Chains A and B, each alone.
Chain A
Amino acid sequence: MNLCKVLGTVVASEKHPAFHARKMLVVQPLDEHQQPNGKSFLAVDHTSSAGKGAVVLVLREGTGIRQILGDKTLPIRSMIVGVVDQVTVAGSR
């Protein structure tokens, strides 16, 4: 799983049925010091409380997502599965 920062939201009118009633957010991967690390991507929000600027935990593995949502056919590849309060890394303060 990745630590990411929520950059914003994506609104879509026409969607594949698997994405109906799901909130799509733009997230930026972070390193252990919470600095941007790599390319931004989109993730479905499974926490319903991940707002803009929040640090979140993102699962980037479709099989795990299908297991959580209980549907073996969902074409979802990245999902926010936690809102992070604090990260402590040895050597940082």
Chain B
Amino acid sequence: MYLGLVIGTVVAHQKVKGLERQRLLVVQPLDHHRQPSGPPEVAVDTVSASPNSLVYLVGSREAALACDPWFVPVDAAIVGLVDEVDV
């Protein structure tokens, strides 16, 4: 899992089956100092995040497990809305 900052939204009028009702956001992955770490990516939102939200995400196969229905082609999912990072 990793931290990220929501930097935008994605609207797609045509999506594969299972993804129709999923909300898509553009996320910049961050390190623990909240500095950008790698390129931005598109993630499914499961916690009602909005632009400028600090979030944590899960990647790979586990991202699909966070979705309902879960057998979907997804490789990043927002699973937490972060209040505080204490490092």
Q: Do A and B bind each other?
A: yes
- A residues with CB within 8 A of B: 7-16, 18-19, 24, 26, 28, 39-44, 62, 73-78
Q: Which of B5-58 contact A (CB under 8 A)?
A: 31-32, 37, 46-48, 56, 58
Check A18–B66 contact: CB distance below 8 A. Answer: yes
Check B31–A75 contact: CB distance below 8 A. Answer: no
Interface string of B46-74 (1 = CB under 8 A from A): 11100000001011111111100010000
Given contacts A14-B80, A41-B2, A73-B65, contact A9 B86 (CB under 8 A): yes
6 contacts across the A-B interface (CB closer than 8 A): A8-B85, A9-B86, A16-B66, A18-B79, A75-B66, A76-B58
Q: When chains A and B are docked, how far (Å) is the Cα of A78 from the Cα of B32?
A: 16
Given contacts A14-B48, A42-B56, contact A26 B32 (CB under 8 A): yes
B41 to chain A, nearest CB (A): 15
Residues of the A chain whose Cβ atoms lie less than 8 Å from the Cβ of B79: 15-16, 18-19, 75
B69 to chain A, nearest CB (A): 11
Chain A at the B interface: SS class: strand
Q: When chains A and B are docked, how far (Å) is the Cα of A74 from the Cα of B40?
A: 25
Check B80–A15 contact: CB distance below 8 A. Answer: yes
Q: When chains A and B are docked, how far (Å) is the Cα of A13 from the Cα of B1?
A: 17
A26 to chain B, nearest CB (A): 5
Q: When chains A and B are docked, how far (Å) is the Cα of A42 from the Cα of B64?
A: 18
Q: When chains A and B are docked, how far (Å) is the Cα of A8 from the Cα of B10?
A: 32
Q: When chains A and B are docked, how far (Å) is the Cα of A43 from the Cα of B62?
A: 13
Other-chain contact of B87, A26, A43, A75 (Cβ < 8 Å): A26
A58 to chain B, nearest CB (A): 11
Residues of the A chain whose Cβ atoms lie less than 8 Å from the Cβ of B84: 9-11
